[in-house]
Amino acid sequence: MGRSSKAGRTRRSSDPVCIGSNCNLYRGLRRYSFASTTSFTDTAPQLRKSLEKELSIPPFLFERLYQHSNGFAGHNVQLDRAQKVETYTHWSRFTIKQAYENLMPKRTFTPHIPHHQPGLNNRSDNQAVHGPQSVQHGWEWYEMGFFASWKPSGLLTLICFDLPTKSQSKIQSTMDSHTVDISNPYSTFLLVLEELLRLYDDSVWSIRNHISQWEATERRKEKPIETDYSRLHEIARHGVHVNETLSVAIRSLKNMGQHY
């Protein structure tokens, strides 16, 4: 029986995604669903309680500390009275920063409030540190969570939280066109992993494009022009974030690989 996690720079997502019976897709004993963390925690408390009980979802996954983390992975094994596996669950969080061509410095920010600061109770734990408004500045965060529950009978359930719409479509298509080994608790997540790798790849290349564009522009200058240090700082800042999240993702996947 175990639980492990890795956390770092605070991040969270507020992308609206559906949750409910109309989002659930069944194929034999395999089930998967796309959900919004905000809907799951704020607008559907009864559904949350029901699923936490049915699937053995640990409540701490929706606490502020975990929702503001830039990544982690963990698992839990529940044994019956005969010391045989009754339920195997695993969870993970992956955050990705995507930069676009119109990248520019942001003049405002949402401050992080310490956990024990007076007045914190008046602020929702689900208030986003980063939100969709960042797109106008040329970047956004994908902050995705995954939870899987597996039983020896072959019942395998995967819930994907806060995925970009484009990723939902690709994952749904992959799920519908592939047969998985339902005797393996990680089998459905392996299909999700392919899309995660695409998102991380796009993230890295988006920063590379900005760096290469800057270098090319500098070489074409015939006369010295004042350097735009604000833009250089912005590229460097996002580059650091991309490196951080990629490093955390690698550690999380290694952690999961040890139990695969």
Quote the pLDDT of residue 229: 82
- Residue-wise DSSP of 60-97: GGGSHHHHT-SEEEEEEEEE-TTS-EEEEEEEEEEEEE
Q: Is the residue at 126 inside a domain?
A: yes
Q: Is the residue at 6 inside a domain?
A: no
Quote the pLDDT of residue 127: 54
Residues 6 or more apart in contact with residue 6 via CB below 8 angstroms = 71, 72, 73, 248, 251, 252, 255
Q: Is the residue at 200 inside a domain?
A: yes
Q: Is the residue at 148 inside a domain?
A: yes
Q: Inter-axis angle of helices 229-257 and 187-220, to 10 degrees?
A: 160
Domain around 179: 21-257
User: How many structural domains is the chain composed of?
Assistant: 1
Q: Is the residue at 8 inside a domain?
A: no
Q: Is the residue at 69 inside a domain?
A: yes
pLDDT tens-place values along the chain, 260 residues long: 343 443 333 222 333 333 333 333 334 468 889 999 988 888 878 888 888 999 999 999 988 889 889 999 999 999 999 999 999 999 999 999 999 988 887 776 666 677 666 555 444 455 556 666 778 888 899 999 999 999 988 889 999 999 999 999 999 999 888 888 888 999 999 999 999 999 999 999 999 998 898 888 777 776 666 777 888 888 999 999 999 999 999 999 999 998 87
Q: Is the residue at 75 inside a domain?
A: yes
Q: Is the residue at 7 inside a domain?
A: no
